[in-house]
Amino acid sequence: MAWDWDKLQQKRQSGSGGNASPPPNVDEVLEKIKNVKKKIPGGVPIIIALVILFFIGSSSIFTVAVDEVGVIQRFGKYVRTTPPGLNFKLPASIEKVTKVKVKRVEKEEFGFRTLRAGVRTRYAAASAYENESLMLTGDLNVAIVPWIVQYRIKDPYLYLFKVRNVRTTLRDLSESTMRLVVGDRSINEVISKRDEIAVYAKELLQKELDEAETGIQVKTIEMKKTNVPEPVQPSFNEVNQAVQEKERMVYQANEAYNKVIPAAKGEAEKTIKAAEGYALDRVNRSKGDAARFLSIYNEYTKAKDITRRRLYLEAMQEIFPKMGDKYIVDSDQKNLLPLLNLGKSQGGK
Partner 1 sequence: MKTKALIGIIIVFLIVLFSSAYVVDETEQVIITQFGKSIGEPKTKPNLYFKIPLIQQANYFPKNLLEWDGDPGQVPTLDKTFIWVDTFARWKIVDPLKFFQTVNNVVGAMARLDDILDPAVRNLITSYPLMETVRMTNREMDTFETGSGQQLEGQEHRQLGEITTGRQEIIKRILEQAQPKLQAFGIQLADVKIKRLNYVEQVRKSVYGRMIAERRQIAEKFRSEGEGEARKIEGNRERELKRITSEAYMKAQKIKGLADGEATLIYAKAYNKDPEFYSFVKSLDVYKNTMDKESSLVLSTDSDFLEYIKGYRKSK
Scanning residues 64 to 93, which ones bind partner 1 (CB under 8 A)?
73, 75-78
Is 97 near partner 1 (CB under 8 A)?
A: no
Nearer to partner 1, 63 or 127 (CB): 127
Asked if 218 and 150 touch (Cβ cutoff 8 Å), the reply is yes
Asked if 201 and 125 touch (Cβ cutoff 8 Å), the reply is no
Return all residues near 101 (Cβ < 8 A) that are at least 6 apart.
65, 67, 68, 153
Q: What's the min distance (Å) between Cβ of 312 and partner 1?
A: 7
Please tell me the count of residues contacting partner 1 according to CB under 8 A: 114
Give CA–CA dist 303/311, Å, rounded: 12
Rg (CA), the chain: 56
Binding region for partner 1 (CB under 8 A) out of 56-64, 105-113, 117-125, 263-271: 263-271
Among the listed residues 269, 299, 303, 306, the single contact to partner 1 using CB under 8 A: 269
Is 139 near partner 1 (CB under 8 A)?
A: yes
Q: What's the min distance (Å) between Cβ of 86 and partner 1?
A: 25
Q: What's the min distance (Å) between Cβ of 162 and partner 1?
A: 5
Instruction: Tell me which residues in 283-302 interact with partner 1 (CB under 8 A).
Output: 283, 285-287, 289-291, 293-294, 296-297, 300
Is 41 near partner 1 (CB under 8 A)?
A: no
Phi-psi region of 213 (alpha: psi -120 to 50; beta: other; left: phi over 0): left
Is 150 near partner 1 (CB under 8 A)?
A: no
Q: What's the min distance (Å) between Cβ of 324 and partner 1?
A: 4
Q: In a 3-state reduction of DSSP, which class is residue 139?
A: coil
Binding mask 21-40 for partner 1 (x = CB under 8 A): --------------------
Buried b (16+ CB within 10 A) or exposed e, 125-145: ebeebeebbebebeeeeebbb
Instruction: Tell me which residues in 301-330 interact with partner 1 (CB under 8 A).
Output: 308, 311-313, 315-316, 318-319, 322-330
Q: In a 3-state reduction of DSSP, which class is residue 111?
A: coil
Is 344 near partner 1 (CB under 8 A)?
A: no
Asked if 257 and 263 touch (Cβ cutoff 8 Å), the reply is no
Q: What's the min distance (Å) between Cβ of 4 and partner 1?
A: 30
Asked if 116 and 122 touch (Cβ cutoff 8 Å), the reply is yes
Among the listed residues 241, 299, 303, 306, the single contact to partner 1 using CB under 8 A: 241
Is 195 near partner 1 (CB under 8 A)?
A: no
Which contiguous run of DSSP H or E holds residue 322? Answer: helix 304-322
Which contiguous run of DSSP H or E holds residue 209? Answer: helix 194-211
Is 16 near partner 1 (CB under 8 A)?
A: no
Is 207 near partner 1 (CB under 8 A)?
A: no
Give CA–CA dist 46/95, Å, rounded: 26
Among the listed residues 134, 199, 210, 222, the single contact to partner 1 using CB under 8 A: 134
Give CA–CA dist 318/296, Å, rounded: 18
Is 343 near partner 1 (CB under 8 A)?
A: no
Is 121 near partner 1 (CB under 8 A)?
A: no
Give CA–CA dist 115/122, Å, rounded: 5
Binding region for partner 1 (CB under 8 A) out of 18-26, 60-68, 105-113, 273-281: 273-281
Is 51 near partner 1 (CB under 8 A)?
A: no
